[in-house]
Amino acid sequence: MHPAIRVLIVIIITAFMVAGGIYPLFAGILLSLALNSTAGFGAHTYLARMIVRSRWLLASIMILYAWFSPGSAMIPALEFFSPSRAGFSEGLLRCAVLIVILTLVHWLVNATRREELIQGVYWLIQPLTLAALKPEVVAVRLALVLETVPIMQHKLTVRVPGEDVNTPSLQRIVRHGTAVLDAAVYAADRAELMEIELTFGRAPSIRDWAILSLIVGVLSLAVLLHA
């Protein structure tokens, strides 16, 4: 499958789930499971870790929707402190959408090499040449960002020299972030020019567009059923 179609699949499924209701969500779940069906056990384990790392974000979404949305109380005995039924349902829906988005992004990253991702973005922004945007410039900048991400990830895991483990966690985070930022600025100031060679490959085939059309058809049917 062409990388541009993979990126479009993630964007379109996400848009349908966010704008739709329960049926588009079910369609998104089924499609995400089908797309991830070829991934190995290690990939699924990494996906599970991604979802676990998002637990505080998911909990925050549930609290905001359940306790700060108007509606009838789920537990009348708690009165003002009870979550609302409508807010609780909407919070579950939004959390489920976020988990499916994580699953789709995991599939995209797992199935697409860095060079293919650059190629996909290049083909997607081709129509923007009418607005004087140069796809080659965007592709080069994306390549530079993707080249830097692994380096910065390594820096984030390196312990700052002289760091006291007894220092409060918030202060350690601030100091560590400051040290990483200083190191990144220092490296950027002294970085040498590098030559980047990019190949953009073929355009999406009829088969690729047919797969995308099938997915759009399934999601459109889900929206009609919800309406």
Q: What is the pLDDT along the chain (227 residues), one digit of tens a residue?
A: 888 899 999 999 999 998 878 899 999 999 998 888 876 666 678 888 888 888 899 999 999 999 988 888 888 887 778 889 888 989 999 999 999 999 998 888 888 887 888 888 888 888 777 777 777 777 777 777 766 666 666 666 665 555 555 555 667 677 767 777 777 777 777 767 666 666 777 888 899 999 999 999 999 998 888 77
Residues 75-110: b if buried by 16+ CB within 10 A, e if exposed: eeeeeeebbbeebbbbbebbbbbbbbbbbbebbbeb
pTM of the predicted protein model: 0.77
CA 79 to chain centre: 38
User: What gap in Å lies between CA 140 and CA 134, rounded to an integer?
Assistant: 10
Give the other-Cβ count within 10 Å of 210's Cβ.
Answer: 11
